[in-house]
Amino acid sequence: MNKQPASARPLIVRIRNWVGDVVLGLPALRLLETHGYAPQIVARGKWAPALLAGYPWPVHVQPAKAAAKIAQLRELRRHCRSLDPGFERRENALLLPVSLSSALETRLAGLRTVGVAKEGRSPLLARALPWAREGHELERYWDVACRFLRLQQAPPADIAMQVAPDRAAAAAGLLAAHGIAGGFVMICPFAAGRAATADKAEKKWPAFADFVRLAAAQMELPLVVYPGPGEHAAARELYPTARMIEGSDLAVYLALLQRAALVVANDTGPAHMAAALGRKVISVLGPTEAARWAPWGSGVTVLQRPQSPGTPVAWPSADEGLALAQSLLGRNG
């Protein structure tokens, strides 16, 4: 993990609230860094420090109550002022979320905040940016960073996410302890939340269990699952042929994904993590709008059937998933 240059200007950056969104915001954060800023990350998720363990940016997890959030930002403002005497004389906070509350909190903390003009929050901002209505979500975050920096630049084709060396070593030890010496297929069958559709449709591939059963019987590489908190019992019941590695450390999960020959995933955070690591990823989507939300990376293959308005969600079959996996790995996997 590289250290932040002492001359870099501190910038308070409020990141998004979901794993996938945070991953998609990484190129924007790196762009800020390359232009002389030292991000001070403010995050809602308690998992954020683990996810970003490969980066030198301090991560400050927000408390639950609004008053405590504002107090935290005020303390962070004082800290940044001690690092940079010019901190108060410039734009010193950037919002990736589009919520009114995120702008209100930074305003009440006395920060000079830049963010997109959404939810009527422009009066709370030092500079309100236009919202990119079209494009992939990564491109939207990238656009925010570019407009903050007052430049135009194309986003990278790959995210090149960094993994903390100690977590990489921990992942290697876990794989060795489970007798996994070579390549493997990581399955990510769980998905929190629902699709951003009018009916809030389910995002989990109904045929995932059938796919795992077929893949275990017909592919040479072992299947591995690393369940999150509260998912272990379901993993044992639904995917008994996959080798389960127990734990709930997101940084270790990231390091495990880095070593996978192939990742098969629902519309979920680990899919974005794997894609950001440059892995081969099969992103199985149902109602999700792929042009906006698919994992970003040159190794991603989206497996999705066309959807028709007013009809049930169309999902790929287990056989389709197996055929694609075998094709990406070589016929026998």
pLDDT under 70: residue ranges of the chain: 1-6, 193-201, 331-333
Predicted confidence at residue 248, as pLDDT, reads 78
Residues 6+ apart with CB under 8 A from 252: 167, 170, 171, 174, 226
57 closest CA partner among 106, 4, 113: 4
pLDDT tens readout for residues 238-292: 999 999 998 879 999 999 999 999 999 999 999 999 999 999 999 999 999 999 9
Predicted confidence at residue 226, as pLDDT, reads 96
What is the reported pTM? Answer: 0.94
pLDDT tens readout for residues 51-60: 999 999 999 9
Alpha-carbon distance values, 37 to 4, 13, 40, 77, 115 (Å): 9, 10, 9, 15, 16
The Cα–Cα gap between 88 and 92 comes to 7
Predicted confidence at residue 242, as pLDDT, reads 97
Tokens, residue 19: 């794993």
Task: Give the DSSP letter string of 191-215.
Answer: --S--SSTT----S-TTHHHHHHHH
The Cα–Cα gap between 227 and 289 comes to 25
Residues 6+ apart with CB under 8 A from 85: none
11 closest CA partner among 97, 73, 83, 93: 93
143 closest CA partner among 106, 96, 90, 91: 96
Predicted confidence at residue 324, as pLDDT, reads 98
Strand 300-303: give its sheet, edge to edge: 243-244, 223-225, 185-188, 262-265, 281-284, 300-303
- Please compute Rg for the chain using Cα positions: 21
The Cα–Cα gap between 173 and 86 comes to 46
CATH 3.40.50.2000 residue ranges of the chain are: 9-149, 165-329
Tell me what percent of the chain is helix, strand and coil, each rounded to the nearest 5. 40, 15, 45
The Cα–Cα gap between 73 and 7 comes to 22
For the chain, list the strands marked E by DSSP: 9-14, 37-43, 59-61, 93-95, 113-116, 127-129, 185-188, 223-225, 243-244, 262-265, 281-284, 300-303
- Structure-token match 């079209």, residue found: 134
The Cα–Cα gap between 36 and 135 comes to 27
The Cα–Cα gap between 294 and 302 comes to 7
Predicted confidence at residue 156, as pLDDT, reads 98
Task: Give the DSSP letter string of 83-137.
Answer: H-TTGGGS--EEE-S--HHHHHHHHHTT--EEEE--TT-GGG-SEEEPP--SS-H
The Cα–Cα gap between 256 and 169 comes to 10
Predicted confidence at residue 7, as pLDDT, reads 77
Alpha-carbon distance values, 19 to 10, 159, 189 (Å): 24, 14, 15
What dihedral angle (degrees, nearest 10) is formed by the CA atoms of 261, 264, 267, 270? -40
Predicted confidence at residue 333, as pLDDT, reads 58
Residues 6+ apart with CB under 8 A from 241: 212, 213, 216, 217, 223
The CATH H-level (homologous superfamily) assignment of domain 9-149 is Glycogen Phosphorylase B; (3.40.50.2000)
Q: Which CATH number fits domain 165-329: 2.60.40.1180, 3.40.50.300, 3.40.50.2000, 3.20.20.10?
A: 3.40.50.2000
